[in-house]
């Protein structure tokens, strides 16, 4: 057997590249024949696997065409594990000696001289041929210099615009819902206005035909609602949907409202009302097959009342938006709230057949 291998090695050593490829194809064919006569799974010991890893890691992408005993993904994975274990051993040895962590101290020249934010600083150091340190190291450096590691904020930014105008800023958008009618499936449209400062919403009654007359009518209803609720309306943002007609914009401008249109394909700039539409859909509308216009209006009306008076909002310190008539067992002058409340003191109010639930403490 030993002599046979020696002869094979001598033949391969003297072969040209084309001949070598022929030999490989022959050996693969022979291997497949032998493999077909073996059990479906061939057990491999750790020692044997180590040999496969040793030689297979040097073949790169060609490994997938050659390996047959184990799955192709096994060997690269084992190679990575082996390499990572070696790196970890080296890191532990160096760390025990110097205790400097994974990265060496950052040179003073790489420290920031301007407000860039985390990701731009990371990118610029790499562009200069400097291996960037970890994200946490960059964050710590920026904080040491009183710089915000997040996106740039300040005068002229979108974040600053929203904060300054939140008290008088509204965002509006259309929402389409397929409903079942006597004439088959049709689309009903809602026009939603959201006040950014308080997250309170005004939703116009639905329509099958959001034409110019209907949109103008809802614009007037919105202005009346904003005035009655004591919520300023100096700026109204909407996207470039053609249902927002010129006459709609003009009607709001005549009332002293500035119209701000979002950029093309940029829903994030209208994110507050977009997020509300997602909430309306996921928490209410997705649970129903809506039968007609009146059915949709009832669902939306119930949800809006729940949204304003019963649902806690993370963006508003988990508080409700409007103080409702929900009873409470304790007044502000009595004992502070307890961590554990007896189940007998908890009541539940349901809306829309139990889709919306509101839990509260019973009055004493």
For 111-122, the pLDDT digits (tens) are 554 445 555 555
pLDDT (0 to 100) of residue 2: 52
Cα–Cα distance, 285 to 299 (Å, whole number):
7
Q: Which of 291, 55, 297 is nearest to 179 (CA)?
A: 291
DSSP string, 168-231: GEEEEEEEEEEEEETTEEEEEEEEEEEETTT--EEEPPPBS---HHHHHHHHHHHHHHHHHTT-
pLDDT (0 to 100) of residue 128: 59
Q: Are 297 and 284 in contact (CB under 8 A)?
A: no
Q: Which residues of the chain have pLDDT under 50?
A: 79-81, 96-103, 108, 113-115, 326-334
Q: Are 148 and 117 in contact (CB under 8 A)?
A: yes
Q: Which two tokens stand for residue 107?
A: 């040179």
pLDDT (0 to 100) of residue 21: 72
Place of tokens 């046979």: 4
Cα–Cα distance, 274 to 72 (Å, whole number):
45
Q: Which of 255, 251, 241, 171 is nearest to 218 (CA)?
A: 251
pLDDT (0 to 100) of residue 59: 66
Paired strand residues for 193: 172, 202
Instruction: For residue 228, give the H/E element and its range.
Output: helix 212-228
Cα–Cα distance, 364 to 352 (Å, whole number):
28
Place of tokens 């394909």: 265
Give 207's DSSP letter.
Answer: B
Paired strand residues for 185: 180
Write the pLDDT tens digit of every residue in 303-344. 999 999 998 887 777 788 887 554 443 444 445 555 667 888
Q: Are 111 and 145 in contact (CB under 8 A)?
A: yes
pLDDT (0 to 100) of residue 97: 47
pLDDT (0 to 100) of residue 163: 74
What dihedral do alpha carbons 127, 129, 133, 135 form, nearest 10°?
A: 10
Q: Which of 107, 106, 41, 97 is nearest to 74 (CA)?
A: 41
pLDDT (0 to 100) of residue 74: 59
Give the side-chain half-sphere CA count within 13 A for 220: 6
Count of positions (residues) in the chain? 364
Label the pairing between strands 169-181 and 184-195: antiparallel
Cα–Cα distance, 51 to 143 (Å, whole number):
49
pLDDT (0 to 100) of residue 45: 78
pLDDT (0 to 100) of residue 152: 55
């Amino acid at each position: 057997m030993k002599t046979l291998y020696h002869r094979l090695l001598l033949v391969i050593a003297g072969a040209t590249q084309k001949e070598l490829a022929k030999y490989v194809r022959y050996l693969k064919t022979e291997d497949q024949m032998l493999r077909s006569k073996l059990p479906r799974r061939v057990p491999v010991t750790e020692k044997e696997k180590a040999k496969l890893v040793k030689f297979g890691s040097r073949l790169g992408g060609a490994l997938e065409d050659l390996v047959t005993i184990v799955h192709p993904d096994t060997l690269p994975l084992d190679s990575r594990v082996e390499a990572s274990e070696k790196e970890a051993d080296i890191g532990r040895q160096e760390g025990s000696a110097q205790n400097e962590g994974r990265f060496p101290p950052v040179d003073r020249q790489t420290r920031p001289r301007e407000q860039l934010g985390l990701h731009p600083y990371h990118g610029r150091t790499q562009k200069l041929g400097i291996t960037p340190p970890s994200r946490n190291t960059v964050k710590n450096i920026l904080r040491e210099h009183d710089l915000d590691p997040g996106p740039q904020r300040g005068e002229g930014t979108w974040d600053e615009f929203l904060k300054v105008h939140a008290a008088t800023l509204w965002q509006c958008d259309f929402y389409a819902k397929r409903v079942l009618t006597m004439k088959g499936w049709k689309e009903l449209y809602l026009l939603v206005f959201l006040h950014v400062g308080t997250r309170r919403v005004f939703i116009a009654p639905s329509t099958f035909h959001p034409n110019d007359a209907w949109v103008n009518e809802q614009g007037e209803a919105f202005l009346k609602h904003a005035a009655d609720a004591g919520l300023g309306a100096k700026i109204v943002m909407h996207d470039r949907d053609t249902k927002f007609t010129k006459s709609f914009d003009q009607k709001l401008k005549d009332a002293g409202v500035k119209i701000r249109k979002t950029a093309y394909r940029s829903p994030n700039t209208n994110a507050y009302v977009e997020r509300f539409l997602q909430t309306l859909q996921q928490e209410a509308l997705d649970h129903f097959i809506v039968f007609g216009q009146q059915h949709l209006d009832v669902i939306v009306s119930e949800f809006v009342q729940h949204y304003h008076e019963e649902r806690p909002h993370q963006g508003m310190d988990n508080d409700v938006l409007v103080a409702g008539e929900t009873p409470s067992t304790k007044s502000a002058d009595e004992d502070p709230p307890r961590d554990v409340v007896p189940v007998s003191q908890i009541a539940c109010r349901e809306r829309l057949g139990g889709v919306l639930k509101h839990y509260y403490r019973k009055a004493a």
